[in-house]
Amino acid sequence: GFYFPPLHTQRCSWSEQMSNSSSITEFLLLPFADTQGLQLLHFWLFLGIYLAALLGNGLIITAIACDHHLHTPMYFFLLNLSILDLGSISTTLPKAMDNSLWGKRDISYLGCSSQLFFFLFLTGFSLLTVMSYDRYVAICKPLHYGTLLGSRACVHMAAAAWGSALLNSFLHTANTFSLPLCQGNFFCEIPQILKLSCSHSYLREVGLIMVSACLAFGCFVFTVVSYVQIFRAVLRIPSEQKQHKTFSTCLPHLAVVSLFISTIMFAHLKSPFISSPTLDVVVSFLYLVVPPTLNPLIYSLRNQEIKDALRKLITRYFSETINCSSSAAQHL
């Protein structure tokens, strides 16, 4: 439900603003393709991606929850990230699959505002910043790791990440949908909704940009500073083997942060001269769908502990299945 037709904004009189904003109950969506065959192809593509995200994040959540060796701060934050990824991709892909399968072109006013709210809430940038602090303490201050990142501190930091995301989401959604909207078609994203407003929303656009920029810039600077300190600490390790082992614990998080930042920056900082409906579709797909799907793969490929936990989990599952089947056969 995040692909919409190109914007055709109309300006309205004050009376039209009030009638339009009060009467709008739904918006039209851009179909993924003109033919039923291509729409079905998109449906199966989205279904495969969604199932991959559910499977990958679900396995990580289950492995961390079931393996007591993974009950550490790093995996506690990874558990939270997987929950966020599951939630964020579930706010967009099911609607997109529904539209592709049945050829629908509508989303309700409430549905769009809810989708926007939950996507902003479930964006894990604040949590990724907390995870960079975890890696900084583990490598630069290993003797104080247990003190600085005890159970209570981890819960407080995770709660702060979730709370800041909730506050940011509420402020942005309430501010955006409090505007009177003219009838039209648009992407269900804040910049496009502001363009659809019948009122002059310049100050609101500037305010939103400033708030978002301050939050994103603060998280970005904190992450960069953390990794500068990590690189300096790693380079001071005399053994190359230990350097590689230490740095490998940071690579998954660094890859996830890079993927998230690069897609978001390209989506919101691309030149308006190269903007087009097709490009907007691709960019929306990149930052809404790709990170939640690839994050579990990135962490599982570079992390031996995750691999071992998943191997134990799968082995235990098949062993219990075989034992249950054997028991059932003996009773028969």
E strand map for the chain: 26-28, 106-108
Beta-carbon neighbour count of residue 48 at 10 Å? 11
Residue 158 contacts by C-beta under 8 Å, 6 or more apart in sequence? Answer: 76, 77, 80, 127, 130
Q: How far apart are CA 117 and CA 141, in angstroms?
A: 37
- Token couple for 297: 């793969």
pLDDT number for residue 285: 73
Residue 157 contacts by C-beta under 8 Å, 6 or more apart in sequence? Answer: 77, 130, 133
pLDDT number for residue 219: 82
- Token couple for 238: 């005399």
Residue with tokens 């790709």: 290
pLDDT number for residue 64: 92
**Closest by alpha carbon to 88, among 213, 264, 298, 210?**
264
Between the alpha carbon of residue 154 and those of residues 41, 93, 119, 305, the distances in Å are: 43, 31, 24, 20
pLDDT number for residue 130: 92
- Say if CB 36 and CB 103 are below 8 A apart: yes
Q: How far apart are CA 332 and CA 310, in angstroms?
A: 33
- Token couple for 149: 């990142």
Bridging pattern class, strands 26-28 and 106-108: antiparallel
Q: How far apart are CA 57 and CA 268, in angstroms?
A: 27
Q: Give 181's DSSP letter.
A: B
Report domain extents, the chain. Answer: 16-331
Please return the burial class of 115, using the count of CB atoms within 10 Å of its CB with bins 0-12, 13-18 and 19+: buried
pLDDT in tens, the chain (332 residues): 333 333 333 333 333 433 444 445 665 555 555 566 677 888 898 899 999 999 999 999 999 998 888 899 999 999 999 999 999 999 888 888 887 787 776 677 788 788 888 888 888 788 989 999 999 998 899 888 988 999 999 999 999 999 988 988 888 888 777 766 665 545 566 656 666 666 555 566 666 667 777 777 788 888 889 889 988 888 888 877 777 777 777 888 888 888 777 777 776 666 656 666 666 666 777 777 888 888 888 887 767 888 888 888 888 877 777 777 666 666 65
Give Cα 64 to chain centroid, integer Å: 20
C-alpha angle with apex 85: 312 to 158, nearest 5 degrees?
90
16-331: which CATH number, 3.40.190.10, 3.30.1490.20, 1.20.1070.10, 2.40.50.100?
A: 1.20.1070.10
Could you tell me the pTM of the whole model?
Answer: 0.80
pLDDT number for residue 82: 93
Cα dihedral 19, 6, 25, 165, rounded to 10, equals -110
